[in-house]
Amino acid sequence: MNTYSTIEEKLKELRYLLDKKSLIELKELLNRTNSMDIVEFIEDLPAEEALLVFRLLRKDDAREVFAELDSDDKEKLQEGLNDKEFKDLLDDLNFDDMIDTLEEMPAALVKDILQSTDSKTRKLVNEYLQFPEDSAASLMTTEFVELSPDMTVGESLKLIEEVGKDKVIVYTSYVTNKAKELLGYVSLRSMVTSDEDVKIKDLMFEDVISVRTTEDQEDVAHVFQKYGFTALPVVDKTGKLVGIITVDDIMWIIEQEATEDFQRIAATSPEEEDYSKMSPWELAKNRIPWLMFLMISGAFTSTILKNYEDVIQTVIALNMFIPMLTGSGGNAGSQASTLVIRAMATNDIKSKDWLKVLSKEMLVGLICGLVLGFVAFLKCYFFDKVSMDIALVVAFAILSIIIMAKSIGSILPIVAKRLGADPAIMASPLITTIVDSLGLIVYFKIAQLILPGLLI
Amino acid sequence: MNTYSTIEEKLKELRYLLDKKSLIELKELLNRTNSMDIVEFIEDLPAEEALLVFRLLRKDDAREVFAELDSDDKEKLQEGLNDKEFKDLLDDLNFDDMIDTLEEMPAALVKDILQSTDSKTRKLVNEYLQFPEDSAASLMTTEFVELSPDMTVGESLKLIEEVGKDKVIVYTSYVTNKAKELLGYVSLRSMVTSDEDVKIKDLMFEDVISVRTTEDQEDVAHVFQKYGFTALPVVDKTGKLVGIITVDDIMWIIEQEATEDFQRIAATSPEEEDYSKMSPWELAKNRIPWLMFLMISGAFTSTILKNYEDVIQTVIALNMFIPMLTGSGGNAGSQASTLVIRAMATNDIKSKDWLKVLSKEMLVGLICGLVLGFVAFLKCYFFDKVSMDIALVVAFAILSIIIMAKSIGSILPIVAKRLGADPAIMASPLITTIVDSLGLIVYFKIAQLILPGLLI
């Protein structure tokens, strides 16, 4: 038995056997190791050793391991394999894994490989390579069991036994008519517990939920989450069944979509590559455009401060509270925008709810603003020992800035969505920049209203 | 056939039949509707109508629908049902759904319900109610098929047929010895394609990966993601099989863990409740402590500005660039901290990688700082028309602040993890606050170094 905590030990044992060159024992242990653990093992090896280990794998394991490797590691192996070995490996892969592999390879090599396949496969591959990257079609596998309504359970089970390879979902079979249109589904369980001569159409559920090839992968993930499916059929625009999507791919999509939102919220360009694999240059390249845009937008604050230079010089005490005010405004706005962005990503709120969200956040802003304003007043008056007038200006400014920040932070992501953009671009850094400028104006206006002797 | 886009129409049709009081047609349509869609339908109904619809459901659907409803909606129904109806409903639920329901109910009512059950169930329920909320145990179901190694395929299939209810995973059966210790697993597929008299021990895979009852749910999700499982056995500390976790629950965990990190990054207390269901009071309560803490920490900036009051009064031009500088520092720090927090959450980097991460971010900071510093110099000198000295001060300050912000932003989440805290608390708002204060000091120090006539 393998509990999760012993996997590290297994990897160490593999490493030890490899160093000792005990290839027979190594092969034997590899046979008893889950392919995903072998992937982890191979990823850390230099090219030569990786190839050695890869050649020790059983054919089935080799196929699974190769399909799961990163593009870098695939390249590492591919360079060591001869042409025939590599083409055999590609032929062994499930169709969708082959497509994924081809997508990652240089165009010239892909052309070379495709030339040696038959024209039917070539046509299909070319078709698949053209599906948009984030669509349902790009996630689907074409290897599934398709039954017709007039087949008997006995015939169906025989078919499943023949065509069902190890990795293909055979627990749900889809039923189609002659035109390949999806009619329903039938579970392996219901077949196993029925007589051999029962017709599929009598066992079939017609209430089958499917997605279109063009559906966005995020929406596909929501369908999986809502219904708790382990597989979902994909149909083209004419209703023909063209593939299925399995839940193991969806778990990655849920995580990847969240990661993209984190990246946008951090004001960097979204990137599929893992952080640990990106070079400083690539990271900087993704960050500089946003930093630059925000710095230039933030430069409005310089103009505002220049305009109010005489106010500051008349009451220099006002100046020292500026970072605290803009900081609090930024934080209040971040809270609202991040929560609204996340609630939209998880389908909890929709853009038609904008008025409900806005009024809720204004109320939240009022409550937070009153509490923080009161504390700020006490702090300015008793701790910083400024005059009561100035403490009042700071308190009212905090209150107004927080209400404003909550309103802007909640409404801008919804506006972005309405305009067809990703709500996550309206995240903390942009909200903070906007609130900084507006907050300064509010602050000086309040100062001019309350403090005597300042020109309005 | 039901494509995803027609579900809205179905809900409208249900609504229409309910308004017309065409209960027979309504019942018939409900029978053809997926339980998750019925959940969506019932959630939007007032208590009386919800109860009416609920009573029209088939027993199986009622069980599934009730299990999936929110606690508010469960309460709505429970108040309308009489005691006997409610107890029957609870008895019908899967054990884990019953536990979830009991957890959400007032303690007095739970006591009342438990009194009427037999002592064995009562003991089991009490045990389950004590599992920590985020543990593997809290996710597991106890309804699974358990085989012994000496059973034949024929016996096993008969057992599965008898005990396998609709909602329980029967596609993987777990094999245990007399002491209930987990020995391996066997797939329904391999049983279906074997002869009746083959022994389970000859079909069984011994390489079974399992998790402990105490394992954190986030780690359980990582196991599912890595291996692409649809179910995972849970063992107690003696190796006894006590339950299984299925992938449909895991999809929600992946999303919920990401949502918690979004909440922490937004500097609000994490909350399991959906945003749309929280009142302004609850939202404010989760946000005020952080806003207050950050405002008070941010007040250091006031002290720093007060200390440098004479520098500002000597060269008033320095003042107008402060918000732009602190803003850019905050943005640069947010980028680093958010990406590092996310990379740690997805297991891409670990806390032992701290030196690699820190040096990478310092290099990224150098690149970003040089580019932004250069642009800031041009902007100050040509657009704001300040002296070359001051433009140089701003440029060097940007460079230093960005390197500092990247370093602090990348290292603090790792430090938090090492100290056993959640890395996500070291998110943008806190990093921004720290960088604001340190950035101001750096700015004035650089000014004193470069500008003639300022006291050092």
Q: Is the pLDDT of residue A170 over 70?
A: no
Distance of residue B251 Cα from the nearest chain A Cα, in angstroms: 6
Q: Would you place residue A146 in the very low, low, confident or very high pLDDT band (cuts 50, 70, 90)?
A: confident
Mean pLDDT in residue range B328-339: 91
Q: How far apart are CA B208 and CA A33, in angstroms?
A: 10
Contact check, Cβ <8 Å, B305/A323: yes
List the domains of chain A with CATH numbers: 4-130 (1.25.60.10), 146-253 (3.10.580.10), 299-450 (1.10.357.20)
Q: How far apart are CA B231 and CA B53, in angstroms?
A: 33
pLDDT at position B367, please?
95
Are the C-beta atoms of B411 and B362 separated by less than 8 Å? no
Contact check, Cβ <8 Å, B192/A283: no
Neighbours of A39 (CB within 10 A): 18
Mean pLDDT in residue range A146-159: 90
Distance of residue B108 Cα from the nearest chain A Cα, in angstroms: 32
Minimum mean pLDDT among A50-64, A67-81, A157-171: which range? A157-171
Which of A302, A307, A351, A352 should we substitute to test contact with B (largest number of B Cβ atoms within 10 Å)?
A302
pLDDT at position B2, please?
47
Q: Is the pLDDT of residue B361 over 90?
A: yes
Contact check, Cβ <8 Å, B254/A255: yes
Residue B173, SS3 per DSSP: strand
pLDDT at position A410, please?
94
Are the C-beta atoms of A15 and A50 separated by less than 8 Å? no
pLDDT at position A5, please?
52
What's the pLDDT tens digit per position in A253-268? 888 888 888 888 888 8
Q: Dihedrals φ, ψ of A245, to 5°?
A: -115, 135
Which of A2, A221, A229 is facing B207, going by the closest CB pair? A2
Token pair listed for B99: 């536990």
Contact check, Cβ <8 Å, A339/B215: no
Q: Is the pLDDT of residue A97 over 90?
A: no
Q: How far apart are CA B254 and CA A254, in angstroms?
A: 7
Q: How far apart are CA A433 and CA B267, in angstroms?
A: 18
Mean pLDDT in residue range A83-94: 82
Percentage of chain A modeled with pLDDT above 90? 33
H-helix or E-strand spanning residue A442: helix A428-450
Beta strands in B120-251 (DSSP E): 146-147, 172-176, 182-187, 209-212, 231-235, 241-246
Which of B160, B235, B376 is facing A295, going by the closest CB pair? B376
Chain A neighbors of B334, CB-CB under 8 A: 266-267, 428-429
Percentage of chain A modeled with pLDDT above 70? 97
CB-count exposure of residue B223 (10 Å: 0-12, 13-18, 19+): buried
Which of B291, B304, B341 should we substitute to test contact with A (largest number of A Cβ atoms within 10 Å)?
B291
How far is the first Cα of chain B from the last one, in angstroms, to the nearest whole number? 78
Which of A303, A353, A363 is facing B280, going by the closest CB pair? A363
Contact check, Cβ <8 Å, A309/B316: yes
Helix axes B428-450, B322-345, angle to 10 degrees: 140
Burial A434-456 (b: 16+ CB within 10 A, else e): bbbbbbbebbbebbeeebeebee
Q: Is the pLDDT of residue A364 over 90?
A: yes
Q: CA separation (Å) from B175 to A193, B180, B204, B369?
A: 21, 9, 8, 60
Contact check, Cβ <8 Å, B225/A255: yes
Contact check, Cβ <8 Å, A252/B225: yes
Q: How far apart are CA B132 and CA B218, in angstroms?
A: 13
pLDDT at position B1, please?
42
Contact check, Cβ <8 Å, B334/A266: yes
Q: Which residue has the higher pLDDT, B35 or A100?
A: B35
- Residue in chain B closest to A172 (alpha carbons) equals B171
Contact check, Cβ <8 Å, B267/A334: yes
Closest Cα to residue A31, out of A17, A44, A45?
A17
Contact check, Cβ <8 Å, B291/A324: no
Instruction: Please tell me which of A314-323, A397-406, B68-77, B248-257 the model is most confident about, judged by mean pLDDT.
Output: A397-406
- Residue in chain B closest to A398 (alpha carbons) equals B295
- DSSP assigned state of A277: G
Q: What share of chain B is helix, strand, coil (3-state, %, to 5)?
A: 70, 10, 25
pTM, rounded to two decimals: 0.79
Which of B34, B326, B335 is facing A227, going by the closest CB pair? B34
pLDDT at position A26, please?
92
Minimum mean pLDDT among A126-135, A211-220, B27-36: which range? A126-135
Q: Is the pLDDT of residue B419 over 80?
A: yes
CB within 8 A of B240, min separation 6: which ones?
A: B176, B179, B180, B181, B182
Distance of residue A33 Cα from the nearest chain B Cα, in angstroms: 7
Contact check, Cβ <8 Å, B294/A328: yes
B38-42 long-range contacts (CB < 8 A, ≥24 apart) are B38/B65, B39/B65, B39/B68, B39/B69, B40/B11, B41/B11, B41/B14, B41/B15, B42/B69, B42/B73
Distance of residue A111 Cα from the nearest chain B Cα, in angstroms: 32
CB-count exposure of residue A237 (10 Å: 0-12, 13-18, 19+): exposed
pLDDT at position B230, please?
85
- Its sign, for the CA torsion A223, A224, A230, A236, is positive
Q: Which residue has the higher pLDDT, B5 or B147?
A: B147
Which of B208, B371, B429 is facing A334, going by the closest CB pair? B429
Distance of residue A68 Cα from the nearest chain B Cα, in angstroms: 10
Distance of residue A132 Cα from the nearest chain B Cα, in angstroms: 19
Q: Dihedrals φ, ψ of B135, to 5°?
A: -90, 165
Chain B neighbors of A170, CB-CB under 8 A: 189
What's the pLDDT tens digit per position in A401-416? 999 999 999 999 999 9
- What is the residue type of B60? D
Minimum mean pLDDT among A28-37, A440-449, B115-124: which range? B115-124
Q: Is the pLDDT of residue A111 over 80?
A: no
pLDDT at position A429, please?
84
Chain A neighbors of B339, CB-CB under 8 A: 262-263, 266, 268, 275, 283
Neighbours of B354 (CB within 10 A): 18
C-alpha dihedral over B152, B154, B155, B157, to 10 degrees?
120
Helix axes B217-227, A247-265, angle to 10 degrees: 120
Chain B neighbors of A294, CB-CB under 8 A: 327-328, 331
Token pair listed for A389: 């007038």
The mean pLDDT of chain A is 86
Closest Cα to residue B135, out of B75, B213, B238?
B213
CB within 8 A of A66, min separation 6: which ones?
A: A54, A74, A77, A89, A93, A97, A101
Mean pLDDT in residue range A339-350: 89
Which of A161, A265, A324 is facing B338, going by the closest CB pair? A265
Mean pLDDT in residue range B68-87: 84
Q: Is the pLDDT of residue A3 over 60?
A: no
Residue A132, SS3 per DSSP: coil
Q: Would you place residue A2 in the very low, low, confident or very high pLDDT band (cuts 50, 70, 90)?
A: very low
pLDDT at position A165, please?
55
- Which alpha helices (DSSP H) does A271-321 contain, by range? 280-298, 300-307, 309-314
Contact check, Cβ <8 Å, B328/A223: no
- Its sign, for the CA torsion B122, B126, B127, B131, is positive
Q: Would you place residue A272 in the very low, low, confident or very high pLDDT band (cuts 50, 70, 90)?
A: confident
Q: How far apart are CA B50 and CA B59, in angstroms?
A: 16
What's the pLDDT tens digit per position in A373-403? 999 999 999 988 889 999 999 999 999 999 9
> How open is the CA angle B93-B96-B102, to the nearest 5 degrees?
75
Mean pLDDT in residue range B329-352: 90
The mean pLDDT of chain B is 86
Q: What share of chain A is helix, strand, coil (3-state, %, to 5)?
A: 70, 10, 25
Q: How far apart are CA B82 and CA B14, in angstroms?
A: 26
Closest Cα to residue A177, out of A244, A233, A243, A239?
A239
Which of A225, A252, A339 is facing B263, going by the closest CB pair? A339
Q: Is the pLDDT of residue B127 over 80?
A: no
Chain B neighbors of A342, CB-CB under 8 A: 259, 262-263, 275
pLDDT at position A325, please?
92
Q: Is the pLDDT of residue A366 over 80?
A: yes
- Its sign, for the CA torsion B395, B400, B401, B403, is positive
Distance of residue A330 Cα from the nearest chain B Cα, in angstroms: 8
CB within 8 A of B290, min separation 6: which ones?
A: A331, A335, B267, B268, B269, B429
Are the C-beta atoms of A406 and A362 separated by less than 8 Å? yes
Chain B neighbors of A192, CB-CB under 8 A: 157, 160-161, 188, 192
What's the pLDDT tens digit per position in B207-232? 888 999 989 998 899 899 888 888 89
CB-count exposure of residue B12 (10 Å: 0-12, 13-18, 19+): exposed
What's the pLDDT tens digit per position in A19-67? 999 999 999 999 888 888 899 899 889 988 999 999 999 988 888 899 8
Distance of residue A221 Cα from the nearest chain B Cα, in angstroms: 9
Q: Is the pLDDT of residue A4 over 70?
A: no
Which of B226, B255, B283 is facing A225, going by the closest CB pair? B255
DSSP per-residue string spanning A174-209: EEE-TT-BEEEEEEHHHHHTS-TT-BHHHH-B---E
- Residue in chain B closest to A194 (alpha carbons) equals B161
Q: How far apart are CA A162 and CA A20, in angstroms?
A: 42
Q: Is the pLDDT of residue B166 over 70?
A: no
How many interchain CB pairs under 8 A, A with B?
Answer: 384
